[in-house]
Amino acid sequence: MLLEGKRALIFGVANKRSIAWAIAQSLRREGAELAFTYQGERVEQGVRELAASAGSSLVFPCDVQDDAQIDAVFDQIARAWNGRLDVLVHSLAYTPHEELENRYVDSKRENWLLTLDISAYSLVALTRRAEPLMREHGGSIITMTYNGSQRATPHYNTMGIAKAALESSVRYLAAELGQYNIRVNAISAGPLRTLAARSITGFAEMEEEFRKRNPLRRSLDQSEVGDTAAFLASDWSRGTTGTIIFVDAGWHIL
């Protein structure tokens, strides 16, 4: 029970394959109390059912492009949890499908800005609202990235640029908030079969290649990311901030 007494707000559950759901399960197993957000009515019922199975009835709508919705989530969390939040999980991203199909050089301005807004700026927007709820007792903020931020990965394109901005934000946020014992870290995951991943052209072939050649010679599953998030959420990682931790079976060293 690494996280007994801790309260975690989780953004990014769409269904049971979502990385955010695996993180929720690990956090719950270690004793954390959870709250969730969902994007859009289409997934509301499913997210409510998953939340209930994790003992939570705190489920709020939130499209991260909408400041009023973000404010409403944090107002409700502050009320429900008496002004204290210990863990924030940011596990969301979006890019229009054409950005994953076309050449990067053909990226459209509106798609590029939309991708960066949802996938990178949102971490800043959420962290700013979490700060007052974490300032007194400290806190842990965790986001999800991919090594397409550092390497030009086929088809990842604009999402790679968004992940580079996200990873840089992790460092800037960690530098500013460390004095309040608010830690900010990212997990860089290898390929996992989720809704978002399936929309990446060539994902299946890439996953196959990954499985055959990574140092551990096997696929990953979401629970491996979940358990790393539990470590980052807990006091066991109290000396770690501004860091990207790879959960990719060692793929990034090759």
The residue within the footprint of ligand NAD, chosen from 3, 19, 170, 174 (CB under 6 A), is 19
To the nearest whole angstrom, how small is the minimum distance from the Cβ of residue 220 to ligand NAD? Answer: 8
Q: How far, in Å, CA of 97 to CA of 105, rounded?
A: 15
Instruction: Please identify, using beta-carbon distances, which residue of 140 and 158 lies nearer to ligand NAD.
Output: 158
To the nearest whole angstrom, how small is the minimum distance from the Cβ of residue 27 to ligand NAD? Answer: 15
Q: How far, in Å, CA of 88 to CA of 91, rounded?
A: 10
Query: Is residue 6 classed as helix, strand or coil in its secondary structure?
Result: coil
Q: Which among 88-96, 97-105, 175-183, 236-244 is the span making contact with ligand NAD, rule CB under 6 A?
A: 88-96
C-alpha triplet 164, 166, 169: angle, nearest 5° = 110
Report yes or no: 170 and 242 within 8 Å, Cβ to Cβ. yes
E strand or H helix at 172: helix 157-177
Sign of torsion over alpha carbons 154, 158, 160, 161: positive
44-73 positions binding ligand NAD, by CB under 6 A: 62-65
Q: Binding string, 177-216, against ligand NAD, x = CB under 6 A?
A: ------------x-xx-xxxx-------------------
Counting residues that bind ligand NAD (by CB under 6 A) gives 26
Query: Is residue 233 classed as helix, strand or coil in its secondary structure?
Result: helix
The answer to whether 121 is a known catalytic residue is no
Residue 39 interacting with ligand NAD (CB under 6 A): yes
Residue 91 interacting with ligand NAD (CB under 6 A): yes
Q: Which among 102-110, 132-140, 144-152, 173-181 is the span making contact with ligand NAD, rule CB under 6 A?
A: 144-152
Burial class (CB in 10 A: 0-12, 13-18, 19+), 117: middle
- Catalytic member of 38, 94, 121, 146: 146
Q: How far, in Å, CA of 170 to CA of 153, rounded?
A: 21
Query: Is residue 144 classed as helix, strand or coil in its secondary structure?
Result: strand
The answer to whether 94 is a known catalytic residue is no
- Catalytic member of 38, 94, 121, 156: 156
> What residue ranges bind ligand NAD (CB under 6 A)?
12-14, 18-20, 39, 62-65, 91-94, 118, 144-146, 189, 191-192, 194-197
Q: Could you give the residue numbers annotated as active site? A: 146, 156
